[in-house]
A and B are shown apart, each in its own frame.
Chain A
């Protein structure tokens, strides 16, 4: 290596940039503040979409198969006759419970309109189930009260329903259809879609809403490997005119519900990001203008154009990264806040919580670095291209 090249490749110490940020602290703080706000909004909106997605994605057991009427998109628009249910139960490949009965639950799913505690009313899913339903969904745990007894108008509600709706707390009673249901228990479904539901026995629900058939049937395959065979077997029964799909898949198809929120998050983040970029550019241009003489001196000392460019871009990225970290911290408190929205597929409420994941934080920091890079690039190029003589002449 020739001697002269030594400074060409040497980088300007980071300390130079950090100290510069401190020197013009008011301007630095305001820029950091703007970037922090952008990142915070991005994280909060994405946490909303994440929470909704994970509520739907984690719903269902891998062995379970959901049976619907052909062409139905959702349980609410489906119908399965009592005769069909009898036929399904006789099919081979269905798991059996301890007593040797086939694990198949006839379910009646009805959307009911209930008033929230805040006054407005919204649609809630009421699910009537057979007794086997709980063995098939082991994720559902009673947290208060007791299990409902079938056929006498008792119901259990999810914790979110108990908290969010009037008359839905333990010990109260709900008027559903033409019957009154006593709330005897509260369950927790581990953050899945069932956490937005009210459960009772299938006969009570059918009676309250004058239904002669069922909405859907949930069956459990002997194991995950034979699940798809069971799906085929049900669909092969031509006379049933039914459609079967893995329970996991059914809920995964509903994740499109979070699309608009995700879209909103990206839209807002990009637009605010552009705004913050312009603001950041202003700051960096001012920084370059203030340091014209310094830049000239650095160049005269032998630092290359590339070193100057890199140094300024890094400075801008540090600025943005600090903003990004603060933004993440600002958004963290929303994690876990419970909320709800309408599931566009079923037109009923799905409850979920804001969910901030490590992945999300990493992408937020990358986003802030990108903002810093774009905002710093043009001003840094200006700094790097400055002729040494002119820079040194400047007062």
Chain B
């Protein structure tokens, strides 16, 4: 540690260069942190806590096709099934047909939905109020915050699929892992549409995740030769299906990330090469004084790792602050409900920064450490 001062002194030697390098590492790592968080958010959609206790039943053909209401009772009888809740995507237009006003809307059985999703936190009074009133709705805290809703507000949604419009009264606000959805009564919509009795998906709660493969198999077998065969998936697989429809997003993001890392390494290596080149004489003097090549190599590496790490810290703090206060586009927010700069992201950013420092400092430091004392001392400039 006695050399720490030497390293920090060297950092201050050309302040402008150090600052520029730190900044260039910082913006690039900021980008990496964002990409990593996007990737994590895409994965998180399929990893809701408690999600392993749920399977989703839908038509085997297309999500746009529906199943009969009577399936609920039959699914309920499969052993290992605790609760079955019909859930339909409403997809209504709120205010305007713009990404800013898009959010998840489901019409469900208000009595059962909380049994299927025990992770939904809501006060018993609000829950009762919601269950009792046919036109009531509950929504996640995130939606309340985004649109400035209050309990008692009336929400009008116009369906793009059917010629109907629903008027809902907000009776409850829930918190939990998925706060971006609005739930309302299935009976209300069914009545407005003339009781077609169609169910888009059944959310099924199991007594144990271990039973999932057997239950999924049994449900699909049961309806195999009916008019509406089903496809049952774990909740994770169901959610991952939506991500995979976006195309090879993960490949794209990983590709960009790789190029970014490569580009910063080049920039960092350039800086370190410049600053070690200027120090040839000095290194020779240090060697003449008895510093070993290994120590010199270590000192220079520490210096470049330190620069990169400072950049990484700036980036992590910057990313945290940026997405806290500025946020991102509505379109992205719609798809990345769980986007956040978490501990994981920060740890990865710092790790990558350190690695960049190590790699970019490597060759220049190696060259400096091997400089011959006579050559170094002979050089002028």
B-contacting residues of A (Cβ < 8 Å)?
26-27, 30-31, 33-34, 37-38, 40-41, 45, 48, 69-74, 76-77, 110-113, 120-123, 176-178, 209, 241, 259-260, 263, 268, 271-272, 274-279, 281-283, 285-286, 339-342, 344, 347, 349, 395
Is B202 among interface residues, defined by CB-CB distance under 8 A?
Answer: no
Could you tell me the distance between the alpha carbons of A117 and B97 in the complex, rounded to whole angstroms? 35
Question: What mask results when residues 244 to 256 of chain B are scored 1 for a CB within 8 Å of chain A, else 0?
Answer: 1111100010001
Are B31 and A349 in touch, CB under 8 angstroms? no
Which of B20, B60, B65, B262 counts the most chain A CB atoms within 10 A? Answer: B20
Q: Say how far A158's CB is from chain B's closest CB, in angstroms.
A: 17
Is B64 among interface residues, defined by CB-CB distance under 8 A?
Answer: yes
The residues of B that contact A285 with a CB separation of less than 8 Å are: 16-17, 20
Of A111, A241, A278, A286, the contact of B267 (CB 8 Å cutoff): A278
A-contacting residues of B (Cβ < 8 Å)?
16-17, 20-21, 23-25, 27-28, 30-31, 60-65, 97, 158, 160-161, 163, 227, 231, 241, 244-248, 252, 256, 259-260, 262-264, 266-267, 269-271, 273-274, 329, 331-332, 380-381
Could you tell me the distance between the alpha carbons of A110 and B247 in the complex, rounded to whole angstroms? 20
The residues of A that contact B270 with a CB separation of less than 8 Å are: 27, 30-31, 34, 279, 282-283
Would A38 and B271 be within 8 Å (CB), given that A110-B64, A122-B245 are in contact?
A: no
User: Chain B contact residues: over half helix, strand or loop, or mixed?
Assistant: helix
Are B329 and A34 in touch, CB under 8 angstroms? no
Residue in chain A with minimal CB distance to B261 = A37
The residues of B that contact A341 with a CB separation of less than 8 Å are: 246-247
The residues of A that contact B252 with a CB separation of less than 8 Å are: 48
Could you tell me the distance between the alpha carbons of A276 and B332 in the complex, rounded to whole angstroms? 26
The residues of B that contact A41 with a CB separation of less than 8 Å are: 256, 259-260
Q: Say how far B226's CB is from chain A's closest CB, in angstroms.
A: 10
Known pairs A31-B267, A123-B62, A263-B329; list 15 more (Cβ under 8 Å): A73-B160, A111-B63, A176-B61, A177-B61, A209-B65, A268-B31, A271-B30, A276-B267, A277-B24, A279-B270, A282-B21, A283-B274, A286-B17, A342-B245, A395-B380
Q: Say how far B61's CB is from chain A's closest CB, in angstroms.
A: 5
Would A260 and B266 be within 8 Å (CB), given that A271-B27, A275-B28, A285-B16 are in contact?
A: no
The residues of B that contact A274 with a CB separation of less than 8 Å are: 24, 27
The residues of B that contact A209 with a CB separation of less than 8 Å are: 61, 65
Are A71 and B246 in touch, CB under 8 angstroms? no
Could you tell me the distance between the alpha carbons of A263 and B331 in the complex, rounded to whole angstroms? 10
The residues of A that contact B269 with a CB separation of less than 8 Å are: 30
Which of A30, A33, A281, A349 counts the most chain B CB atoms within 10 A? Answer: A30
Which of B17, B62, B381 counts the most chain A CB atoms within 10 A? Answer: B62
Are A73 and B245 in touch, CB under 8 angstroms? no
The residues of B that contact A38 with a CB separation of less than 8 Å are: 263
Q: Say how far B279's CB is from chain A's closest CB, in angstroms.
A: 13
The residues of B that contact A48 with a CB separation of less than 8 Å are: 252
The residues of A that contact B273 with a CB separation of less than 8 Å are: 26-27, 30
The residues of B that contact A279 with a CB separation of less than 8 Å are: 20-21, 24, 266-267, 270-271
Q: Say how far A50's CB is from chain B's closest CB, in angstroms.
A: 15
Residue in chain B with minimal CB distance to A35 = B263
Are B24 and A286 in touch, CB under 8 angstroms? no
Q: What are 25 A-to-B residue pairs whose CB atoms are below 8 Å?
A: A27-B270, A30-B266, A33-B266, A34-B263, A34-B266, A34-B270, A41-B259, A45-B256, A72-B160, A72-B161, A77-B161, A111-B62, A113-B60, A120-B244, A121-B244, A263-B332, A272-B27, A275-B24, A279-B270, A281-B20, A282-B20, A282-B270, A282-B274, A341-B247, A347-B245
Are B20 and A123 in touch, CB under 8 angstroms? no
The residues of A that contact B97 with a CB separation of less than 8 Å are: 73
Could you tell me the distance between the alpha carbons of A320 and B163 in the complex, rounded to whole angstroms? 57
Residue in chain B with minimal CB distance to A36 = B263
Q: Say how far A80's CB is from chain B's closest CB, in angstroms.
A: 13
The residues of A that contact B60 with a CB separation of less than 8 Å are: 113
The residues of B that contact A113 with a CB separation of less than 8 Å are: 60-63, 231
Would A112 and B27 be within 8 Å (CB), given that A71-B163, A282-B270, A282-B274 are in contact?
A: no
Of B23, B161, B267, the contact of A34 (CB 8 Å cutoff): B267
Are A276 and B241 in touch, CB under 8 angstroms? no
Q: Say how far B103's CB is from chain A's closest CB, in angstroms.
A: 14
Are B21 and A278 in touch, CB under 8 angstroms? yes
Residue in chain A with minimal CB distance to B61 = A177
Could you tell me the distance between the alpha carbons of A337 and B150 in the complex, rounded to whole angstroms? 49
Of B27, B64, B231, B241, the contact of A111 (CB 8 Å cutoff): B64
Are A275 and B245 in touch, CB under 8 angstroms? no
The residues of A that contact B163 with a CB separation of less than 8 Å are: 69-71, 241
Residue in chain B with minimal CB distance to A257 = B331
Are A271 and B28 in touch, CB under 8 angstroms? yes
The residues of B that contact A260 with a CB separation of less than 8 Å are: 329, 331-332
Could you tell me the distance between the alpha carbons of A112 and B61 in the complex, rounded to whole angstroms? 6
The residues of A that contact B332 with a CB separation of less than 8 Å are: 260, 263
Are B17 and A37 in touch, CB under 8 angstroms? no
Could you tell me the distance between the alpha carbons of A148 and B86 in the complex, rounded to whole angstroms? 39
Q: Say how far A214's CB is from chain B's closest CB, in angstroms.
A: 15
Q: Say how far B43's CB is from chain A's closest CB, in angstroms.
A: 14
Of B27, B30, B158, the contact of A278 (CB 8 Å cutoff): B27
Of B16, B263, B380, B381, the contact of A275 (CB 8 Å cutoff): B263
Are B381 and A276 in touch, CB under 8 angstroms? no
Residue in chain B with minimal CB distance to A76 = B64
Of A122, A272, A286, A344, the contact of B260 (CB 8 Å cutoff): A272
Residue in chain B with minimal CB distance to A121 = B241
Could you tell me the distance between the alpha carbons of A46 and B119 in the complex, rounded to whole angstroms? 41
Q: Say how far A195's CB is from chain B's closest CB, in angstroms.
A: 15
Could you tell me the distance between the alpha carbons of A395 and B281 in the complex, rounded to whole angstroms? 15
Which of A48, A241, A274 counts the most chain B CB atoms within 10 A? Answer: A274
Are B28 and A342 in touch, CB under 8 angstroms? no
Which of B25, B256, B332 counts the most chain A CB atoms within 10 A? Answer: B256
Q: Say how far B144's CB is from chain A's closest CB, in angstroms.
A: 25
Would A123 and B245 be within 8 Å (CB), given that A72-B160, A272-B31, A275-B24 are in contact?
A: yes
Could you tell me the distance between the alpha carbons of A285 and B27 in the complex, rounded to whole angstroms? 20
The residues of B that contact A344 with a CB separation of less than 8 Å are: 331
Could you tell me the distance between the alpha carbons of A341 and B248 in the complex, rounded to whole angstroms? 8
Would A286 and B274 be within 8 Å (CB), given that A111-B62, A274-B27 are in contact?
A: yes
Residue in chain A with minimal CB distance to B31 = A271
Of A26, A263, A278, A349, the contact of B245 (CB 8 Å cutoff): A349
Residue in chain A with minimal CB distance to B334 = A344
The residues of A that contact B227 with a CB separation of less than 8 Å are: 178
Which of B256, B269, B270, B273 counts the most chain A CB atoms within 10 A? Answer: B270
Residue in chain A with minimal CB distance to B270 = A30
